[in-house]
Amino acid sequence: MANYEQMEGDKIARDIQIASWKFPDFGNFQEHEVIENDIEYKDDLRIGWGKEFIMEDIYIWYGKFHSPSQKPLAVIPLQSHIQMFFSLGSPMSYRHENEREPFVRFETHQQNMLLLPKKNWYVEWQPEEDNEAFSIHISTDFLFRNLARGHKLQARFESANQSNSPAFLCQRHLPLTPRTLSVLFDILHHDCKGQQKGMFLKAKVIELIALQLDQFEQCPPPTQSDPLQETDLKKMKHAREILIGNLETPISLKDLARQVGTNEFNLKKQFKLIFGDTVFGYQHKYRMQHARELLCKEENKISEVAQMVGYKHATHFTAAFKKHFGYLPNKIRLSLLYFFQALESLEALAAACGDSGVVTLL
């Protein structure tokens, strides 16, 4: 059984002396044991907030902050392990001690899975920029237990582990997809309690592993084309922000290209290179995921959600939703209705029981 007071003490130490950060020992937790911490960063290295979940074989971290200095964060791992990294805002890079060049660098809206050996390493980010990242660390045993027998990724990671060197799922980082973002959102904003919390988080981590593996297998092989310039990356990120920030207002490729300062050809080519989908394909998937999240809120009507995500007619929205998810949006509404009716019935039964607290089911 992990010592909760010790974990809380470690958290406080991390807040005060953030320049050197030691990984929590997530390999020595009991099944269903979960520690959840909200973290406030307020030092010369990071200013902002974060959240972490620590459980058996899994450590989940989220941070949103900016850095007033260029000083890197030294990370001290307790063992080699697997990391799934999701870059949500601003570039980040990792480099080992005594090495000047990073062994990996993430741009915004990129993800990958990598094996990190038991070596101290540094995390570096852009000073005075808004940084946002999601990182999931799992034991090698956890990953291998959930891979198909004989999966080639296991052999690759085992070989790298033996040579004490990093290894990657994909040599070219994968773009973040709306579906992946939706799962990350679920992890941050879930309301599970007790043993169910660990079950829920473990299921979401396995889902992310499956999504990354599936995306990797569908990803075309890397080409020999020149890498995008930083100015082009910023233009594509701006294009994405315009797309997801204006779901209610249609925009043409021509207008979008003009707003970000490029032409239609480069917009289509570079957007797909970075985000792994066409401009409107990405927007449509984001629109559907966002619609489903809105429908899960009891106060939102289907017609209102349709307008919020850019549909003038609810029938057109319903058809698009059914095609994307395989079920009608009113299925979510009916499920919620049934849930609240059942909850009201249970509350009425409990009130009728009075002080006895006994309910007889016939």
Domains of the chain: 4-218 (2.60.120.10), 230-337 (1.10.10.60)
What is the 3-state secondary structure of the chain? CCCHHHHHHHHHHHHHCCCEEECCCHHHCCCCCEEEEEEEEECCCCEEEEEEEEECCEEEEEEEEECCCCCCEEEECCCCEEEEEEEEECCEEEEECCCCCCCEEECCCEEEEEEECCCCEEEEECCCCCEEEEEEEECHHHHHHHCCCCCHHHHHHHHHHHCCCCEECCCCCEECCHHHHHHHHHHHHCCCCHHHHHHHHHHHHHHHHHHHHHHHHHCCCCCCCCCCCHHHHHHHHHHHHHHHHCCCCCCCHHHHHHHHCCCHHHHHHHHHHHHCCCHHHHHHHHHHHHHHHHHCCCCCCHHHHHHHCCCCCHHHHHHHHHHHHCCCHHHHHHHHHHHHHHHHHHHHHHHHHCCCCCCCCC
How far is 44 from 128, CA to CA, in rounded Å?
Answer: 12
pLDDT of residue 9: 38
- List residues bridging with 37 in a β-sheet: 52
pLDDT reported for residue 14: 43
What is the pTM (predicted TM-score) of this model? Answer: 0.67
Interval 201-213: pLDDT, tens: 999 999 999 999 9
Residue stretches of the chain with pLDDT short of 70 = 1-23, 220-227, 298, 332-362
Q: How far is CA 29 from the centre of its chain?
A: 23
The pLDDT, as a whole number, for residue 342 is 46
